Amino acid sequence: MPYMIKTNGLCKKYGTVMTVKDLDLAVPEGSVYGFLGPNGAGKSTTLKLILGLAIPTRGTITVFGKEVNSRSRLSILKNIGSLIESPSYYGHLTGEENLRLIQTIRQVPDANVKEVLQTVRLTQQKDKKVSHYSLGMKQRLGLASALLSHPRLLILDEPTNGLDPAGIQEMRELILSLPSRYQMTVVVSSHLLTEIDQLASTVGIIHKGELVFQNSLESLHARSSRRLLLGTLDNSRAANILRTNGIAFQESEDRIALPYAEDEEVASYVQLLTAEHVGIYRIEEDCKSLEDIFLELTGKAVSL
């Protein structure tokens, strides 16, 4: 699979603390890569390393198949759009005027300004002063300036932070439309599982600077397997009987957890246990949620 970004053993130390540890990121071309982790996990640091805004302590970064170093950095950066921390603007200028300034500096075709304003749905407000923009509008203007030169790679650090629900929804729809509209790869970081769940095709989960999961969103979902929880009056006897009969199970708090089974199989478990006089008072179906999986991976409750 062709990758837009690959990092190899990437490390960043601040003082004595290893903020990013041995990170092997692999961002497939054309994907929306959701970079998920609790606050302080090292997401922003990693993104800054990729953008050359911080220097790795160890390890390598490859973007567009080229290793990022002091010589290649500028030519690589030309093809990356980014939105990291709050973008700064001239408040006394309009949205369009701000974009025109960037367009001139970056020597991007004139027509791109109109086009990106449309993409981020700011055409109607292009003549308003930016100081009168809402936070959501400012964030969309930031996205517009990141898109101005039609980069092949877009890096967005917590792009919905601080937005209201309508702003979040708008930003989400926008991000989802980008890969096909511009044939670009998007990396988007968030501490919100639900957000990544709605945006990403590939997910990387970082915890305390380490990558604890990296795969497709489907494979993350596949971990949320269904199972059966059995409540019996004597769990240790029930466990012995199941074990003797070669039935796989796990003891889970005050329940016995069995892999999901069809009706007849469930009936046979009941028969087996009741024949041995183990009282069954409850059978329930349970599905490990994405939150449970996140908790397993990071040992930390997820924000929703």
The footprint of ligand ATP (CB under 6 A) covers 14, 19, 37, 39-45, 191
Q: How far apart are CB 41 and ligand ATP at their closest, in Å?
A: 4
Q: How far apart are CB 205 and ligand ATP at their closest, in Å?
A: 11
Q: How far apart are CB 44 and ligand ATP at their closest, in Å?
A: 3
Phi and psi based region of residue 30 (left: phi greater than 0; alpha: psi -120 to 50; beta: remaining): left
d(CA 31, CA 76) in angstroms, rounded, equals 19
Which 3 state secondary structure label does DSSP give 144?
helix
Q: How far apart are CB 30 and ligand ATP at their closest, in Å?
A: 25
Q: How far apart are CB 303 and ligand ATP at their closest, in Å?
A: 10
Q: How far apart are CB 285 and ligand ATP at their closest, in Å?
A: 35
Q: Which residues contact 165 (CB under 8 A, 6 or more apart)?
A: none
20 or 228: CB nearest ligand ATP: 20
122 or 154: CB nearest ligand ATP: 154
Q: Which residues contact 106 (CB under 8 A, 6 or more apart)?
A: 148, 149
d(CA 93, CA 127) in angstroms, rounded, equals 9
96 or 157: CB nearest ligand ATP: 157
Residues pairing with 11 in the sheet: 58
72 or 303: CB nearest ligand ATP: 303
45 or 103: CB nearest ligand ATP: 45
Residues pairing with 281 in the sheet: none
40 or 279: CB nearest ligand ATP: 40
Q: How far apart are CB 190 and ligand ATP at their closest, in Å?
A: 9
85 or 218: CB nearest ligand ATP: 85
277, exposed or middle or buried, with CB in 10 Å at 0-12, 13-18, 19+?
exposed
The sign of the dihedral angle between the CA atoms of 161, 163, 168, 171 is: negative
Which 3 state secondary structure label does DSSP give 72?
coil
Residues pairing with 186 in the sheet: 32, 154
Contacts by 120-123, CB closer than 8 A, 24 or more apart = 120/144, 120/147, 120/174, 121/170, 121/174, 122/95
d(CA 226, CA 241) in angstroms, rounded, equals 23
Q: How far apart are CB 220 and ligand ATP at their closest, in Å?
A: 19
46 or 62: CB nearest ligand ATP: 46
Q: What is the CB neighbour count within 10 angstroms for residue 271?
A: 10
187 or 228: CB nearest ligand ATP: 187
Q: Are 204 and 33 in contact (CB under 8 A)?
A: yes
Q: How far apart are CB 138 and ligand ATP at their closest, in Å?
A: 19
